[in-house]
Copies of this chain bind each other. A is one copy, B any other.
Amino acid sequence: MKKVAIGIDIGGTNSLVGFVDESGKVFLEASMSTLIGDTFEEYLDALYATVTEAQASSDEEFEIIGIGVGAPNGNYYKGTIEFAPNLKWKGVIRVAHLMGQKFGVPAVLTNDANAAAIGEMLFGGAKGMKNFIIITLGTGLGSGIVVNGELVYGHDGFAGELGHVIVQKGGRLCGCGRRGCLETYASATGIKRTAFEVIADRNQETILSKYSYDDLTSFKLYEAAQNGDHLAREIFRETGKVLGEALADFVASSSPEAIFLFGGLANAGELILEPTEKSMEENLLHIFKNKVKLKISSLDEGNAAVVGAAALAWKEFKS
Write the residues of chain A forming the contact surface with B, with a CB cutoff of 8 angstroms.
Answer: 130-131, 145, 147-148, 150, 152-162, 164-166, 169, 176-178, 245, 248-250, 252-257, 283, 285-288, 291-292
**Closest chain B residue to A288 by CB distance?**
B158
Q: A150-B148, A161-B285 are in contact. Are A155 and B176 (CB under 8 A)?
A: no
CB distance from A227 to the nearest CB of B (A): 32
* Residue of A156, A158, A176, A252 with most partner-chain B CB within 10 A: A252
Check B131–A165 contact: CB distance below 8 A. Answer: no
CB distance from A127 to the nearest CB of B (A): 15
* Residue of A148, A157, A166, A249 with most partner-chain B CB within 10 A: A249
Q: A148-B150, A248-B166, A291-B155 are in contact. Are A160 and B253 (CB under 8 A)?
A: yes
Chain B positions within 8 Å of A152 at CB level = 147-148, 253-255
Chain B positions within 8 Å of A253 at CB level = 145, 152, 159-162, 165, 250, 253-254
Check B255–A166 contact: CB distance below 8 A. Answer: no
What's the Cα separation between A105 and B183 when bound, in Å?
50
A-B contact pairs, 19 of them (CB 8 A): A131-B154, A147-B147, A147-B154, A148-B150, A153-B255, A154-B254, A155-B255, A155-B256, A155-B292, A156-B255, A156-B287, A157-B255, A158-B255, A161-B253, A165-B249, A165-B253, A178-B285, A253-B253, A253-B254
What's the Cα separation between A147 and B255 when bound, in Å?
14
Chain B positions within 8 Å of A176 at CB level = 285-286
**Closest chain B residue to A153 by CB distance?**
B255
Check A291–B156 contact: CB distance below 8 A. Answer: yes
CB distance from A237 to the nearest CB of B (A): 17
What's the Cα separation between A147 and B147 when bound, in Å?
8
Chain B positions within 8 Å of A255 at CB level = 152-161
Partner of A254, one of B159, B249, B252, B257: B159
**Closest chain B residue to A160 by CB distance?**
B253
What's the Cα separation between A255 and B152 when bound, in Å?
9
Check B164–A285 contact: CB distance below 8 A. Answer: yes
Chain B positions within 8 Å of A160 at CB level = 253, 255
* Residue of A245, A255, A257 with most partner-chain B CB within 10 A: A255
For the complex of A and B, list the 4 residue pairs with the smallest distance between their C-beta atoms, beginning with the closest.
A154-B255, A159-B255, A155-B257, A161-B252
Chain B positions within 8 Å of A147 at CB level = 147-148, 150, 152, 154
Chain B positions within 8 Å of A256 at CB level = 154-155
Q: A150-B148, A154-B256, A155-B130 are in contact. Are A283 and B178 (CB under 8 A)?
A: yes
Chain B positions within 8 Å of A162 at CB level = 252-253
Chain B positions within 8 Å of A283 at CB level = 166, 178
16 new A-B contacts at CB < 8 Å, known A145-B254, A254-B254? A145-B253, A147-B154, A148-B148, A152-B253, A152-B254, A154-B255, A155-B291, A156-B255, A159-B253, A159-B254, A159-B255, A161-B255, A161-B287, A164-B252, A250-B253, A253-B254
Check B287–A158 contact: CB distance below 8 A. Answer: yes
